[in-house]
């Protein structure tokens, strides 16, 4: 069973975080939701989530994938946390997946993971960044090697299903999607 870390920061995008957590868990994936600090985390629209662990506690485990929900100021808060950037670089060094949606791909860029990659993000998020060799695609979900990015709240379900396919295979992905009655 795959092991996935989803860190949550104040101001996360609720639709993205909950969709990703829910669909991955429907696929039988072990998901650890980790708050940057002790206690609950409030999303950009006031929804309160109680994480499974703090990031410090979660950092002791090994993960197959790390997924960053977007939202503002959530993505900025993730980006300002040195532990997040360190974990992302560690995931890359260990040939593990990193994934980000909406404004969160800028966190991948800050960690140096988008150099020479084809990516997508919420429109306007990456265009002003100076990232060596990065190509902005604009698609709903874009995978380049072990980096997966997605555009925003409207693409959260496609993003989560893509992540399931990568971690558990197409049959599990299809099974989860069938249960959603899309």
**Catalytic positions, please?**
102
Task: For residue 99, give the nearest of 44, 35, 37, 164 by alpha carbon.
Answer: 164
Residue 109: both structure tokens together: 């860029």
128-142: b or e for each residue (b if 16 or more CB lie within 10 Å)?
A: eeebeebebeeebbb
Task: For residue 49, give the nearest of 99, 14, 19, 6 by alpha carbon.
Answer: 14
Q: In angstroms, rounded to a whole number, what is the distance separating the alpha carbons of residues 94 and 85?
A: 14
Q: In angstroms, rounded to a whole number, what is the distance separating the alpha carbons of residues 26 and 150?
A: 20
Residue 105: both structure tokens together: 């791909």
Q: In angstroms, rounded to a whole number, what is the distance separating the alpha carbons of residues 49 and 41?
A: 5
Kindly report the number of other CB atoms within 10 A of residue 143's CB atom: 20
């Amino acid at each position: 069973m795959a092991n996935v870390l989803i860190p949550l920061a104040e101001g996360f995008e609720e639709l993205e975080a909950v969709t990703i957590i829910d669909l991955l868990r429907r696929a039988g994936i072990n998901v650890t939701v980790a708050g940057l600090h002790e206690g609950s985390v409030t999303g950009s629209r006031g929804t309160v989530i109680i994480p499974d662990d703090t990031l410090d506690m979660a950092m002791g485990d090994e993960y197959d994938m790390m997924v960053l929900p977007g939202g503002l100021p959530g993505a900025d808060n993730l980006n300002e946390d040195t532990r997040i950037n360190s974990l992302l670089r560690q995931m890359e060094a260990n040939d593990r997946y990193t994934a980000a949606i909406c404004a969160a791909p800028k966190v991948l860029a800050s960690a140096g993971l988008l150099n020479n990659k084809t990516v997508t993000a919420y429109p306007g998020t990456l265009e002003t960044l100076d990232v060596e060799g990065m190509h902005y695609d604009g698609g709903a979900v874009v995978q380049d090697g072990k980096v997966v990015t997605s555009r925003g709240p409207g693409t959260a379900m496609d993003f989560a299903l893509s992540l399931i396919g990568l971690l558990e295979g197409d049959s599990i992905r299809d099974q989860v999607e069938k249960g959603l009655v899309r």
